[in-house]
Amino acid sequence: MSDRAPETSPQVYARVAGVLYLVIIVFGIGAEVFVRGNLIVPGDAVATAAKIAAGKGLFRAGFAADSIMALCDVALAVLLYVLLQPVSKTLALMAAAFRLTQTAVIALNLISYYSALLLLDGADYAAAFDPAQLNALAAFALDKHAHGYDLGLIFFGASCLVLGYLIARSGYLPKLLGALVALAGIVYLAGSYTLFLAPDAAEAIQPAYAIPLVSEVALCLWLLVRGVNVKRWRERIGAPVVA
């Protein structure tokens, strides 16, 4: 009699990864579009401060959404490693490490985001600054957060390149999906490096971010609806095929 616990099907890991990816996409877009898009007025520190003061609950919701996204990303990195390590343990670990680094950068960067509210929310130390200075400092904190986010995307872009290669080589996920994910990685790397090295050209890169959106939604839906080809996944790891 064997005391080994029954092996969890890779299909379960794929479905859970799909759910996590869906949460990441929804919460990430929600925080960027519906929170920061409604509260931050580019180039106008006074208007931004007024919107944040009037929408503190919405501002905090943005923090919650981004932190939940980061938590899900940690779990997703582990699940993608489990799903793709039959292709190459080294490269799967590399993709996970890049993704976890991105998550750590973005999570720590939330301190910059929240510091804008601390400055505008009447903390004792804020009395040392006049209103114009407070508004400028809050705007700087938000700009720092935006740049920190792009810094994290450099690591995410590298993760996508490796992940796309693994998916394309797997045999149990579509090659086209792998190509899309790798292409998304190139866009993330190009966009973030352009922001830091040639900021005047950053606006021209923005339309290309439609590619990462399509690729990540496609990967999310594939994992949710189709998952992996279990037979080929088991063949990859040399395990007996279970019907």
Task: Give the separation between CA 123 and CA 67, rounded to whole angstroms.
Answer: 23
Domain boundaries, the chain: 10-236
Task: Give the separation between CA 160 and CA 153, rounded to whole angstroms.
Answer: 10
Dihedral, 37, 224, 180, 153 alpha carbons, nearest 10:
40
| pLDDT in 10s for each residue of the chain, 243 residues | 445 545 678 999 999 999 999 999 999 999 999 999 999 999 999 999 999 999 999 999 999 999 999 999 999 999 999 999 999 999 999 999 999 999 999 999 999 999 999 999 876 777 788 889 999 999 999 999 999 999 999 999 999 999 999 999 999 999 999 999 999 999 999 999 999 999 999 999 999 999 999 999 999 999 999 999 999 998 888 754 444
- The pTM for the full model equals 0.91
pLDDT at residue number 1: 41
pLDDT at residue number 199: 95
Burial label for 40, CB within 10 Å (0-12, 13-18, 19+), is buried
Which tokens is 173 given? 């996920």
